[in-house]
Amino acid sequence: MVQDASGGEGLRWAAEPTFWREVFERLGAGLVVVDPSGLIVAANPAAEELLDRTAAAMAGKDFHDLLHRRADGTAVPREECPLLAALALGAPARGEGDGFLRGDGRLLRADWSCAPVAGGGRAAGMAVLFTAAAGSGAAGGRTAHVAAPEDLTGRAALVEEIVAVLAQTLDTDEALSRLSRFLVPRLADWAAVDLRVEGEVRRVAVTGPEGRDAEREAWQGTLPAAAEHSRSPLVRVLHGGEPALLGPEEIGAPPDSALAAVQAGFLQSLGATSAVTVPLRTARQVTGALTLVRTGAARPFGAADLALAGDVGRRVGLAIDNARLFGRQREIAEAMQRNLLVSLPQPGPLRLTARYQPAPAGSQVGGDWYDAFVLRDGATALVIGDVVGHDLAAAAGMAQLHGMLRALAWDRTEPTSAIVDRLDDALPAITSVSMATLVLARVEGPEEGPWRLRWTSAGHPPPLLATPDGHAEYLGQGQSLLLGTHLGGGDRPDATAPLPPGSTLLLYTDGLVEVPGTDLDTGLGRLRRHAAALARRPLDEFCDQVLVRMSSGSTDDIAVLALRVPG
């Protein structure tokens, strides 16, 4: 209960959790809650705005290391931090005019106070309340860039954040777009990225402040050749020169080549007063250049900024090189995989179709495959499999497994479990595959029917059988350990099931039902419902629609193999 002003038991609403959530969210001051070790566990919207950081981005980070600075921007030693001392003692504390490092690299001068938070009768952490100090200019005015002070801790933290940004994707364009959005306005007012691509130099990104003139981005595109004789800082950097610091004199110098003229026009159109141009390099080559621009005369780049930008350039160069190497490997793996996915037979009245969908750009190609072939006794063999791994080695392993399974299945007429046992025995001796899953099935029956399925599963998702009446069920029998575990002594189980007239059997890899953020049961349930709804569609349409409805959000490659029994 909460007492009202007259002493009664009014204002019951103030005791509701929603009331305090409303207070937390609408409070005009920044509020950050830390746990007993000083890690951030919550931040209100006002704190997000003041610090230019989302609550999600701050969660789990050390409050002191991430945010706390002196008023001049330098790091505060942990042993001198009054907030950490208060946290250790479980006592209130306050400070005035301290620095809080914003997400955009600027410094917020803040007045703050903190008080211990208790939960369940014991210390649960500390609540830190802060507001912008008077005269701090935090309401939107420009304050010092973190790179301008000689703050090695702040600069190292900034480089670490840049590395994290680049690590979020292996797609070059997306990585550079994220990088540019990160650098502006933390380090510069404008950023331009030039890449060497197939013998040309292309300006692939131009990023400026919010509300910028979009016409400035027209400077993107193919640039003139980087003539070696030019003294232009950009040309020299592209040919392996050292990072260059440009003041008004260098920015206004007459150009001596076509590329120099383009760069001079670009800088002058922005009203640049200071710039740095650094190479994007690896140990093997220069892949491009990064140009950072400031337009305010009061904040010229200095030697510390040049060193920081050079460090950023090296990190970006490595990220681009890794992305390109990944892209080439991906292309090879995907081509290998597609070439090994065979043309399907059409045995008698049975109809077969299959689909293979590579993983989205930025993800890795795996070892998914399907196969179907007629055995020596006239039965039709169906295979769906997935080699553990997501790289060129997985694709190569898939090729080995594919060929060996065909040979073993053709060699003698025996149950599917015996064939898979022999494959498992031979796996370490003949292939580079460490582990794999698969379903091997036989479809048996005379041309006029009835048809029967015999199968065994080595750790693979179960086959799905859909009938024309709109019913679909998973065939969960015949399950055993995946290949390569070396835990079994053979004797995998076989399973059998009738294939009703007009039914559709669907074999698939886990990329179809596993989507980040959802559990496997949810994915299997969705697939069963879609298969039931599509059971009367032509087989090609059935496969296409299953992929369309199921693959959104998947980060893995997908293989599906479908068989339609005559109705």
Q: Are 110 and 100 in contact (CB under 8 A)?
A: yes
Amino acid letter, 52: D
Q: Rounded distance, CA 11 to CA 370, Å?
A: 67
Q: Which two tokens stand for residue 248?
A: 């008004």
pLDDT of residue 393: 67
pTM strictly above 0.85: no
Distance in angstroms (rounded) separating the CA atoms of residues 384 and 398 = 11
pLDDT at residue number 333: 57
pLDDT of residue 326: 64
Q: Specify the length of the chain in residues.
A: 567
pLDDT digits (tens, 9 = 90+) for 217-256: 667 888 998 877 888 999 999 998 889 999 999 999 999 9
Give the pLDDT confidence score for residue 196 in this predicted structure.
86
Q: Pick from 296, 107, 300: which is nearest to 209 by CA?
A: 296
pLDDT at 141: 36
Give the Cα separation of 205 and 202 in Å (integer). 9
| Residue ranges of the chain with per-residue pLDDT less than 70 | 1-20, 22-23, 72, 119-122, 134-171, 211-218, 283, 323-342, 360-366, 389-395, 488-490
How many angstroms separate the CA atoms of 87 and 123, rounded? 10
Task: Supply the pLDDT for residue 157.
Answer: 60
Q: Name 11's bridge partners.
A: none
pLDDT on residue 376: 92
**What is the pLDDT at residue 266?**
93
Give the pLDDT of residue 396: 72
Residue 257: count of CB within 10 angstroms of its CB: 19
pLDDT score at 139: 40
Long-range Cβ pairs for the range 406-409 (8 Å, 24+): 406/371, 406/373, 409/373, 409/375, 409/381, 409/440
CA angle 63–64–68, rounded 5-degree value: 110
User: Is the CB of residue 208 less than 8 Å from the CB of residue 185?
Assistant: no
- Helix (H) / strand (E) element for 266: namely helix 258-270
